Structure 1
Amino acid sequence: MSAASLEIVDRWFAVEPVDERITRIIEPHVHEFVRGNIWQVRGSARDLVIDCGLGVAPLRDECPALFANDPVLVVTHAHLDHMGGAHEFDDRRAHAAEPMGDPRGASIRGAVLRDELGLDEELPDLLITARPAGFDPDAYRLRPAPATTRLVDGDAVDLGDRCLRVLHLPGHTPGSICLFDEASGTLFSGDVIYDDVLLDGLHESDRDDYATSLQRLRDLPVRVVHPGHGDSFDGVRLRELIDDYLAAA
């Protein structure tokens, strides 16, 4: 498929309020495999942005509210659908094991990405169904954006009136993390867990680590999960997903 055959759209992002403090931003013209969630959590002192999409279009142009309150960006892992817009943020945080300065898997051509990441499943030729004006899919590159702060397990992200704890949960990638708001039981899970088949067979995945991470997650008092892909779900569904994975491991 060529870029010339794609519809040109004026807006690339869709903004969906979740509650008075949380907003989800998605890229609706992206294939569901790489259609990641961008989460904004508003705080009294500053805001938190969790993951930042593919980088096909600038977030700052369409979503200026993301940058209005001194945002800290936390990247759950350095795959293209989670760190593509990281270069737009001044305060970028990720685990040291994630190659933010030399990211892998930097194509939106399905066959190329499949080989780069070590995927088993087939993907369409092109992973977008429309494009912003002037965007060339074959010129797409994932821009390096080294973390300005390297996170470790137990670190806190303080927003003033809300504090989230970093959980290092390797398996999907070596440096995959979640953020847990213990006061509300809210988990931002990245690709550690979501309501679909979990990817544990990538070049950099480790199934034993994944099982250990999920067992740890199962024991936490999680009430709601805001994942890296798809819709949110509750703690009951979280434990069902974990139990199903562990039973099949």
Structure 2
Amino acid sequence: MAIKIAEKWFERKKINDRLTLLWEPHVDPLIRCNIWHIRGRDADLLVDSGMGICSLKQAASDLFERSITAVATHTHHDHVGSLHEFSVRVVHRLEAPSMCSGAHKLPLLTADYPDDMKKALADVGCPLPEHSLLIAYPEKGFNPANVTLQGIEPTRLVDEGDRIDLGDLNFEVLHLPGHSPGSIALWEEKTGWFFSGDAIYDGPLLDNISGACVEDYLVTMERLLKLPVQSVYPGHDEIFGRSRHIEIARHYIQSKSL
């Protein structure tokens, strides 16, 4: 069956005067990453960068006219695809080796995933589609079997407690392992904004994939219960507030104690 050609690859939504959400609507929800652009007084911040199938920088050129720091909350392929397009690239030190590992095939076909991963995803309610993780192609002649993820050196390694200062917004790096060893989130105390990556989101949390660790995730969730967040801007799915944040964390902890 012929697959349709997308008129545009990215969609966007202005959340407020400082914050814009971008996403790739033609990518399966499993790997449809939330891409966050934050406008600061002195500089801008990009949190995660999607799959890299099409140029993020070109598609949203109006957002990238000023100095920008691009942060990868972790280095799974759905979060770092367009990171190479930016000159300032930030990642946790534990994620840096995979980020620098060189170009490799982007898994866009169900056949690209090993059977144990397919089972792990199905077990948490995220079964892979029958053939492809794309519901449209960006252009005629596009072959999902031939797309590569470009490896890139980070320009800054961060750890717990480091800061990213935009002048009027100051983000603290929180190291929150569980989904991956070097997963980080960005916490802005003054506003209560929390850019959580895949540490917490309102969907099935993947703790049974390669690199994940339930014990670490439990420590992360206990910590998140104490964080006075107001608005959570996650790596996947919808924005949520403090009460839902607490519900998700508590549910995860309780589910692992059964």
Scaled to the shorter chain, the TM-score interval is over 0.9
SS at match of 2:26: coil
Partner of 2:181: 174
Q: Provide the identity percentage.
A: 39
1:151 offset after TM fit, Å?
A: 0.8
Listed as ranges, the matches of 1:201-212 within 5 Å are 201-212=208-219
Aligned residue number for residue 123 of structure 1: 128
From 225, 234, 240, the equivalent of 2:232 is 225
TM-score, length-scaled by structure 1: 0.94
Structure-2 residue corresponding to 1:138: 145
d(CA) in 1 for partners of 2:38 and 2:148?
Answer: 28
**1:73 aligned partner:** 70
Give the aligned partner of residue 22 of structure 2: 25
4+ residue runs over 6 A deviation: none
Letter in 1 for 2:232: V
RMSD over aligned CA atoms reads 1.6
- Pair 164,75 (structure 1): closer, same or farther in 2 beyond 3 Å: same
Q: Which stretches in structure 1 are left out of the alignment for 5+ residues?
A: none
Amino acid at match of 2:177: P
* Alignment-mate amino acid for residue 80 of structure 1: H
Cα distance between partner residues in 2 of 1:167 and 1:105: 30
Q: Which runs of 5+ in 2 are unaligned?
A: none
Question: TM-score with structure 2 length normalisation?
Answer: 0.91
Question: Structure 2: which amino acid aligns with 1:44?
Answer: R
Say if 2:193 is the partner of 1:186. Answer: yes
1:199 is matched by which residue type in structure 2?
L
Q: Match of 2:218, SS?
A: helix
**How many equivalent residue pairs?**
246
- Tell me the equivalent position of 2:99: 100
Aligned match of 1:111: 111
Conservation of the 8 A alpha-carbon contact between 1:80 and 1:105: no
Residues 1:241 and 2:248 are matched in the alignment: yes
d(CA) in 1 for partners of 2:115, 2:153: 24
The answer as to whether partners of 1:105 and 1:117 remain within 8 angstroms in 2 is no
1:116-149 Cα offsets, whole Å, 9 max, x none, are 8573323012111111114321111111022110
